[in-house]
């Protein structure tokens, strides 16, 4: 029953493709709830306005859900069908670091460095044709990016979590063609 394919509504194609298994959807949304809950607990002492906290929650939903969703067969197939879709998806990911900067303006340099690193290495991985080489380089770049995030000594653990998810989502989860 969990392996059966479900048709995805058109407005969610960018998230899950045309169809997905019930199992993948359940685990994806459990992950989203868990990670978003952790982020909210981490953010409770930050004195963020309600609006900025809401944006943090939306970022956590998008980033954690995207990490898992980009590994899903339906999502991979959807983006494999069109290089234009891939580049639109990539270009939209400048919005997340801009929102992070708006929430944590004193971390602007660290956010910019992580964004430049992530987008440039993701572009390299995305441009590689051989799937095995993509996977290997994505792992190298992702681990280096996570190490960089910790080396930057980011003040807010919430921001660190978001930047690590951003790195994993784009470099390993999205840039590699998993099918």
Backbone torsions φ then ψ of 175, nearest 5 degrees = -65, -30
Q: Residue 6 pairs with which residues in a beta bridge? A: 20
Contact present, 142 and 172 (Cβ < 8 Å): yes
The neighbour count for residue 8, using CB atoms within 10 Å, is: 19
Alpha helix (H) residue ranges in 20-156: 22-43, 50-69, 73-80, 83-92, 95-103, 108-127, 131-151
Q: Nearest CA to 24 among 80, 67, 63, 61?
A: 67
Whole-number pLDDT of residue 155: 94
Whole-number pLDDT of residue 91: 87
Residues 6+ apart with CB under 8 A from 175: 122, 123, 125, 126, 134, 138
Whole-number pLDDT of residue 109: 98
pLDDT beneath 70, residues of the chain: 1
Q: Does residue 49 sit in helix, strand or coil?
A: coil
CA distances from 100 to 7, 20, 161 (A): 33, 30, 11
Whole-number pLDDT of residue 135: 93
CA–CA dist 169, 162 (Å, integer): 10
Exposure pattern of 81-118 as b/e (b: 16+ CB <10 Å)?
eeeeebeebbeebeebbebbbebbeebeebbeebbebb
Model pTM score: 0.92
CA–CA dist 114, 146 (Å, integer): 9
Contact present, 171 and 55 (Cβ < 8 Å): no
């Amino acid at each position: 029953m969990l392996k059966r394919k479900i048709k995805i509504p058109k407005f969610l194609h960018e998230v899950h493709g045309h169809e997905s298994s019930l199992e993948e959807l359940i685990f994806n949304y459990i992950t989203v709830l868990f990670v978003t809950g952790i982020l909210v607990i981490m953010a409770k002492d930050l004195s963020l306005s309600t609006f900025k906290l809401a944006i943090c929650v939306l970022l956590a939903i998008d980033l954690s859900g995207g990490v898992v969703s980009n590994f899903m067969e339906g999502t991979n197939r959807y983006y494999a069908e069109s290089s234009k879709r891939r580049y639109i998806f990539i270009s939209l990911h400048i919005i997340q670091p801009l929102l992070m900067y708006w929430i944590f303006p004193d971390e602007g340099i660290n956010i910019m460095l992580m964004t430049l690193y992530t987008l440039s290495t993701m572009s390299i991985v995305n441009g590689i044709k051989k799937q095995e080489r993509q996977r290997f380089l994505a792992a190298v770049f992702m681990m280096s990016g996570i190490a960089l995030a910790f080396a930057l000594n980011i003040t807010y653990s919430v921001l660190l979590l978001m930047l690590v998810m951003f790195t994993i989502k784009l470099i390993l989860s999205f840039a590699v063609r998993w099918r």
